[in-house]
Amino acid sequence: MLVLGVIFVMLLTAAAPHFHPGCLVAEGEGESDPRIPGLPCLPTPPPAPDPAEEPTPPEKGLVQQGPVRLEIFNASELPFSLWLDGPGVHVLNVPSGESRVFVVSRGAYTFEMTLCGASAQGEMRLEKMTTLSLKPCSSEKLVEISIENTTQSTVWVALSGPENLILSVPAGMSKSFTIPRGDYSFSAFLCKEWMAGMFEARSHRVMELSCP
């Protein structure tokens, strides 16, 4: 009897295409037919998504491009100038007591600036909106110093004190700078070695740089 029942179910399934594959449920009906023994009905899987409709994930590692805004507030008594060299070359000037908004190319720059009669050089990155606020010169006493470079290559000197400055002096030359008076620690790379020490910025003081 068991064999005959199995054969009967197989013949019934083959002869009735309106039954859902995998269970004995007629198309359009929500429950198994209690008169027909068989497997419980399996849920119909959802249709596979169309690849053309799937959203494309954003690519990783994309670098932002386009210009950025640089705003400069000059509260000093003297004009301010900033020269930028990088993805683009920009010469920015801001009169005393005024502010300016500039649009520059995004990226890394070397710069040279003149503020309160003092010059400084270095590097900066402009990747987003940046604001520079310059304080009055009268808040600090300014003095003129000289840096004498007797080596065979340009020397960059980093000063840390009343102001943080990076100054460059070409090979075999002496260059004058106007900086806030005070005591500074300095470091410089020359003759394949680092040199560090203290420098007292007073009027007409000279820093001599030479190979050990």
DSSP run (H or E) holding 68: strand 67-74
Q: How far is CA 125 from CA 55, 99, 100, 105, 163, in A?
A: 34, 21, 19, 11, 20
Superfamily of domain 140-209: Immunoglobulins (2.60.40.10)
Global pTM value: 0.41
Show pLDDT as tens, one digit a residue, over the chain (212 residues).
Answer: 544 444 444 444 444 444 444 444 444 444 444 444 444 444 445 566 565 555 555 455 445 678 999 999 998 878 889 999 999 899 999 998 899 999 999 999 988 888 877 777 888 888 888 888 888 876 567 788 999 999 999 999 999 988 888 888 999 999 988 888 889 999 998 888 888 999 999 888 999 998 87
The torsion angle over the Cα atoms of residues 171, 174, 175 and 179, rounded to 10 degrees, is 120
CATH 2.60.40.10 in the chain, residue ranges: 67-137, 140-209
C-alpha to C-alpha distance for 116 and 138, rounded to whole angstroms: 9
67-137, CATH topology level = Immunoglobulin-like (2.60.40)
pLDDT the model gives residue 66: 80
